[in-house]
Chain A
Amino acid sequence: MEQLTTIGLNHYLTISAILLGLGLFAVMTRKNAIVVLMGVELILNAANINFLAFSKYNGGMEGVMFALFIIVIAAAEAAIALAIVINIFKIFKSVDVSSIDSMKE
């Protein structure tokens, strides 16, 4: 019963594992490049939750620092990714990852 009423480390880890799974699912099944990138954001945020939870229960600051840097990197990545996707849309008139496949043997 205590497992249900008080929130402990396990709850955070479960949430982050679920987020990781959803992110991977989005990356593998979706064809729209933007949705794939959203999946990547989910994976990064799953890692963030892990870091913050471990940081809280270990009592160190490293996890919090790491999470802050991941947020910044995710923003930078989104900027570059959207620029590339816009450029792809201009050329191919589509952002479908599976149809953009001009190079095959």
Chain B
Amino acid sequence: MFELPSGAEIQGIIASIQGSVGFFIPEIYLSALFMLLIIVDLVAKGRKNNLLAITTLLGLAGSTIFIYQQHALPAGEFFFGMYVLDEFALFFKYFFVLSAIVAVVVTMADEQFDREVKSMGEYYALIVAMVIGMIMMASSADLLMIFLSMELVSFTGYILAGYFKRNPRSSEAALKYLVYGAVSSGLMVYGFSLIYGITAQTNIIKIGLELAAHGSDSLVMILATLLVLAGFGYKIGAVPFHFWSPDVYEGSPTPITAYLSVASKAAGFALLMRFFYVSIPHGGLPPEDKLGMDWLSLLMILSVASMIYGNVVALWQKNVKRLLAYSSIAHAGYLLLGILVMDQFGTQATLFYLLSYFLMNFGAFYVVILISNKTGSENLDDYRGLGKKMPLAGAALTVFLISLVGLPPTVGFIGKLMIFSALLTKGSLYIWIALVGIMTSVISLYYYMLIPLNMYLRESKQSDEQSMNLGMAPQIILAVLMILTLYFGLFFTPLSDFAKYSSAIFGITLQ
């Protein structure tokens, strides 16, 4: 049935792979960094110093040079259509490397690591491995690559979530992340097999062409879509695939919580957008195109359910990490709104929102870490009176939370504004959805503002009034994040231009 290729064909395949390697340099560099970190760990014999962290930081910073060089390369597919390079992929490459850098910085500040684990061992290497996986997720153009890269991210995520292996909560988080992750990726693969059965293709562009040319049975397609969405929805943490996220976010080491909630979620969105925009026919098709509508209405349900569920359930949370977990479910809903629009402005708004989410969410988790270093608690009640004891952390947390609500003059406001205005250009149904988004943002004001309320207006139970010193470096980083959140809320043009530049997927500009 399958014939062996001739010598000339094999030569051609080798030449094609060699030609493709030039487009793969950042990934190769990061893989080398991953191995270097393991060797450094072996040489340093797990001693508790910052050598590993600093090597990681320098290595990740170095990778941005290679990513920057890729701007000069022409956009296109390589490795036989497995992998693509375009502005959209480049955006996410920067995004993931930067979030890994921030995750490492946040880890260095977290004193819980000193108490829980003897050595940092493979921790930083796993963070780098996760960056590689996420970069590949954003650049995959083939069902096989999508599956492999997603599993790379998931596996490293399982281990990192359970990194405090003697801590019951961390181990429980790892177990839950694993069980839900394994099931949803299994379902996703089953969905992929159905899509492969319908189209006989695994490349998402060819799938799109095939579906546009021949159409498909809508029942099978909707089933395949649902199964694939189980995998993607798990990564982005949208209702109804969110069950893992509150427990995993609460139990994991806080830097990993921040990293998962920002980078892993963004990777899920990158994948969702690429898969959704490219493989599903759109544009030039008549509006009665059933297939496209099915996808869109599924995503609409997901988005509205996530916004309502995340924001309403967060009202009762007493643990700040858990509260932020529910808020991240709600933010997945807002981000889905931008994808629903299905045009260039919508993509730009989504990318911008991801950038703003990066700043405000990492900032909020950073403050949570600094506070738990001093008080050993993440409970809302223990935040009482902290505004006076650590003024900078209190002010910064307030700014980040205002930004998460979406109030001016912060970057979160601009993000929400862009998403809602993209929705409003699209007609009546979308206006209702935008209304749901605005109403749920109002709900979120209540639970976000509970934290500053406790910090500033309620007295702490112990009446000791000595201030807590956070140390020089954390204060500088905190101030930088806070100023950036405010600065980009006022002067957002560079960010939104970058998001616009990056919204080209395969050179297809959505109309």
State which of A59, A70, A100, A105 has its C-beta within 8 Å of the C-beta of B172: A100
Q: Return the CB mask of B113-153 against A: 1 if under 8 Å, else 0.
A: 00000000000000000000000000000011001100100
Smallest beta-carbon distance A54→chain B, Å = 4
Contact A91 B166 (CB under 8 A): yes
Smallest beta-carbon distance B367→chain A, Å = 21
Bound CA span A100–B247, Å: 11
State which of B151, B179, B192 has its C-beta within 8 Å of the C-beta of A47: B192
Bound CA span A7–B322, Å: 52
Contact B168 A91 (CB under 8 A): yes
**Does any Cβ of B come within 8 Å of A76's Cβ?**
yes
Within 8 A of B (CB), among A69-84: 69-70, 73, 76-77, 80-81, 84
State which of A33, A47, A59, A102 has its C-beta within 8 Å of the C-beta of B193: A47
Smallest beta-carbon distance A10→chain B, Å = 12
Contact A69 B144 (CB under 8 A): yes
Contact A43 B175 (CB under 8 A): no
Within 8 A of B (CB), among A53-105: 53-54, 58-63, 65-66, 69-70, 73, 76-77, 80-81, 84-85, 87-88, 91-92, 97, 100-103, 105
For B148, the closest partner residue in chain A by CB is A69
Bound CA span A53–B166, Å: 45
Contact A103 B172 (CB under 8 A): yes
Contact B194 A58 (CB under 8 A): no
For B142, the closest partner residue in chain A by CB is A62
Contact A33 B169 (CB under 8 A): no
Bound CA span A16–B148, Å: 22
Number of residues of chain A lying within 8 A (CB) of chain B: 45
Given A63-B196, A88-B172, A92-B168; A47-B189 close (CB under 8 Å): yes
Bound CA span A88–B166, Å: 9
Within 8 A of A (CB), among B1-15: 1-2
Smallest beta-carbon distance B223→chain A, Å = 10
User: Which A residues lie within 8 Å of B200 (CB)?
Assistant: 54, 58, 60
Q: List 14 A-B contacts (CB under 8 A).
A: A20-B190, A40-B183, A43-B189, A47-B192, A51-B196, A54-B200, A62-B144, A65-B144, A69-B144, A76-B151, A77-B155, A84-B175, A105-B319, A105-B322
Known: A37-B179, A54-B196, A102-B172. 10 other contacts (CB 8 A): A16-B193, A27-B179, A33-B175, A46-B190, A50-B197, A63-B196, A69-B148, A70-B189, A77-B155, A80-B178
Residues of B within 8 A of A (CB): 1-2, 143-144, 147-148, 151, 155, 158-159, 162, 165-166, 168-169, 171-172, 174-175, 178-179, 182-183, 186-187, 189-190, 192-194, 196-197, 200-202, 246-247, 250-251, 316-319, 322
Residues of A within 8 A of B (CB): 13, 16, 20, 23, 27, 33, 36-37, 39-40, 43-44, 46-47, 50-51, 53-54, 58-63, 65-66, 69-70, 73, 76-77, 80-81, 84-85, 87-88, 91-92, 97, 100-103, 105
